[in-house]
Structures are given as C-alpha cells and as structure tokens.
Amino acid sequence: MASLLVALAGFVAVLLFIFGLKRMSSPVTATHGIIVAGWGMALAVLASFLYLADVQPAAEPHRAVNLLLAVVALAIGGAWAWRGGRKVAITDMPQMVALYNGMGGGSAAALAAVVLFERGGEGGSLLHQVVTVLGALIGSVSLAGSLVAWAKLDGRMKSAWRFKGQREFNLVVFVATLVLGGVTIASGDGALAWPLLFFVLALAFGVLMTLPIGGADMPVVISLYNAFTGLAVALEGFALQNPALMIAGMVVGSAGTLLTFLMAKAMNRSLANVLFSNFGEAAGGGQAVEGEMKAVDAGDAAVTMRYASSVIVVPGYGLAVAQAQAKLYEFVKLLQAAGVDVKFAIHPVAGRMPGHMNVLLAEAGVPYDMIYDMDDINDSFAATDVALVIGANDVVNPAARTDKSSPIYGMPILNVDQARQIYVVKRGKGRGYAGIENALFFQKNCDMVYGDALAVLNEMVQAVKALGE
C-alpha cells in the first residue's frame, strides 16, 4: 500500500513539475509556475516518508534513527534555504543558483555512493550498476564544477587557471575515472578503495573541467551543470527504480540542455568552444578602433531623453552591481509621464546567468510588456531617438557584425549603434569580458556618462524633475 501511495504521489508531483515549468516559460506566469513546482517538490518529499512503513527487516532497527536524521536534515536545509533566499542580493543570484545546482548533483552522487559502497557489491543488475556509476560521475562533476563556478562568480577565484597540456591532462583524468568506474562494477567484492578513488577522480575532473573557463562563459556553464544535475538525478532514479526521480531528472536535464545550446547560440559559439577555448580571458584581437570616447554630464543626457520621442534602455551587469534597477524605473516613469515611449531590450547572455536582467527588472516592478527580447526589438533601434546602455559591453559591440578578426565576430548583438543618439553609463573605460575595445563607444553618435549607475541615474532623475519645477 505504501509503495502505491508513493507512486501516486510521485506521479502527481511530476505533473506539477511539468506544469510549473510550462508556466515558467512566460514572465507573466513565472511566479505561479515556481509555486506550483514547489508544491510538487513538497509532495514528493513528504511522500518519501511513506517508505518507512514498508522497510526491509534488516532496516527495521534503524527506522527511528533514520526518520530523525531525515527530519533534522530537512529542517536545517529548509531553514538555510529560506534565510538565504530571502536575504540574497540580486547580484548574488547566479552564485546561489550555481551553489544549489551543485547540491543537486551532489545529492545524486550521494545516492549512487550508497549503492557503490554497499557491502558485497550487491548493487543490482549489471545495467543498474552501470547506470549508477554514470549518475555518480555526472553528479560529482556537476557538484565540483558548480562549486568552482560559484567561486568565480563570487569573486573568490579571480581568473581562469590554465597550464600547458591541460586538455590532454583532463582527458587522461576522465578516462581514468571511467576505468575506475568499470573496476568498481567488476570487482563486486565490497572493497572501498575502488569506489573511493572513483569519486575522488570524478570530483577532480569536475574541478579541472571548470577551472580554465572564462567568466564570460559562466551563464552557459551554469546551464550546462543544471543539465548535468538533471541527468544524474534521472539516472539514479532509474537505478533506484523511482519513477518520480527519473521523470523530474529528465525534465530538468532536457530543459537545461536546451537552455545551454540556446545560450551558446546566442554567443555564436559551439558548446565545445565554450568548454575548451580561452574566450573571456585573453585580451586583444580585432581591428584597432579609431576615434575617441566623449564624456557628457548625466543631467544633459537626461534632458535629451526627456525631450525625445522614443528611448530604448539596454541593461547589463553593471546595473545589477550598482543595485540601480529601482532608480532606473523611477527615471523611466518620469520619461513616460512626459510622453516618451520607453522600452527595455534584453540580450540573451546579458548578466551572469540566463534571465538575469529579466529578474532584475521584475524586482524593480517594470511591467513585462515593456521588456523585449533581442530578436523582437532589434529592428526598432534604427527608428529610436535615444538608446541608453547601462553596464553592458560586449553584447552591444558592433564589431561582432563588422570585424571578422574580432573574438566576438558573428555573435548576435543588440543593434544599439543604429540609434540616433546613444548614451552609455559605465564606471570607467574598462573592456568587456572579451578583452577588446567596444567600437560603439567611439562612434560620433555615442556619448559616455561615467560613474556608478545608481549615482548617475539619481542625477538623471533630479535633472528631469527640475524641468517640471
């Protein structure tokens, strides 16, 4: 009876997962989708306690202790997540996603470890043991790689770490990990040494795989490890004969895989290029940029936008760093009150994670119908009076269209350079992740407004308000 109830609960939970994921596809319904999927997860977790009603005789003496440990683990994990989720800054969301995703991969690896360390090597059929080892490998890589990604996003690891022959060395470690996985299955004697070495190498490979990847590629890497976590969970669900785990893992894995390839496509790069190139770390490349950057006062830029007919705002990571999204929307509302048509343009890889800018603007209360994806708004720049770029760099660099020698050539960009007037808010003259000068900043129709985005936007707000006094 208990098994039947668990199966039914798992089926309902999976339906909630799928429905919630569907709702997350639109910013309008995303919040409701997250809530629905959360209820699905809560149901799956609670249903898992029904397994205690039907345990093996050998496990009977440990039932009370295991129940206590499960409750304590849920209490600690839930309290930690609740506190962290409420207090985390929007700039730290990518780090939190990377960390929590790594925990998912680690959980899958831990489930696999229970089987692989089982006495006597009785981990089921050969197929189940192979699947278990693959799940353990992928989960361990996701855990270790996500932790490195978190360290890079959090600024604890300042740059990529590379050495001569790194790719070959990583390949050797990967092959050795697979061999140890095979030995673990073949030994079947319950020895701890082989599975222990297997997990050590699997974790090491996850670290080595992520160390050379530059900061510009972190959005793609996060999506990739999300897919890895889903795949690992699905494999362990198969090994444990748990349909809910299998289906939930496949949903997460397929969604993460699709997102990974979409992100790579948005950068006009293959996944192999993301994982094995030096993009994002090496400076230089591309044609020399002629001209000079022209600086203007924030108030003057604000007055120009006040009397414009149309303005397109392009947010970037600099906006998130400055925590200026609320002040930006205040400025936008002042422009709208003056009759200015204002839209927001979002590049797929703007920020540090997929959808980062959408979340940032939603937090400030920006209506969804003002936010446009790149493909939907790119043709509008040519007819726009002013484009306001805040903290974005490579995603608006016209060299991606015009300079075949540029590292970012071929990458789809926002057509900001086609606007009649452009204002770029930046802290300084630093380059983007690609390590090249942005040709946009040197155009005759582009002016630079230097300073922290929050301070600059505050000046813009005051300048527009002063016009009405």
Active site residues: 394
Pairwise CA distance, residues 140 & 30, whole Å: 30
Residues in a beta bridge with 58: none
> Which amino acid, 81?
A
Q: Which of 141, 136, 144, 241 minimizes the C-alpha distance to 184?
A: 136
Q: Which long-range contacts (CB under 8 A, 24 or more apart) does 203-207 make?
A: 203/140, 203/141, 203/143, 203/144, 204/144, 204/173, 205/140, 205/141, 205/144, 205/170, 205/173, 205/174, 205/177, 206/140, 206/141, 206/142, 206/143, 206/144, 206/145, 206/148, 207/144, 207/145, 207/147, 207/148
Pairwise CA distance, residues 319 & 361, whole Å: 10
Radius of gyration over every alpha carbon of the chain, rounded to an integer in angstroms = 25
Q: Which of 363, 385, 374, 354 minimizes the C-alpha distance to 97?
A: 354
Q: Number of C-alpha atoms within 13 angstroms, CB side, residue 366?
A: 31
End-to-end alpha-carbon separation of the chain, Å? 74
Q: Which of 462, 386, 381 minimizes the C-alpha distance to 425?
A: 386
> Which amino acid, 46?
L
Pairwise CA distance, residues 374 & 266, whole Å: 10
Pairwise CA distance, residues 49 & 406, whole Å: 57
H-run or E-run covering 103 = helix 93-116
Give how far Cα 9 sits from Cα of 107, 118, 238, 241, Å: 21, 28, 17, 15
Q: Centre a 10 Å sphere on the Cβ of residue 80 and count the other Cβ atoms it contains.
A: 10
Residues in a beta bridge with 315: 390
Q: Which of 294, 325, 314 minimizes the C-alpha distance to 390?
A: 314
Lookup: tokens for 60: 């009977």
Please give the backbone phi and psi of residue 93, each rounded to the nearest 5 degrees, phi first: -60, -45
Pairwise CA distance, residues 113 & 118, whole Å: 8
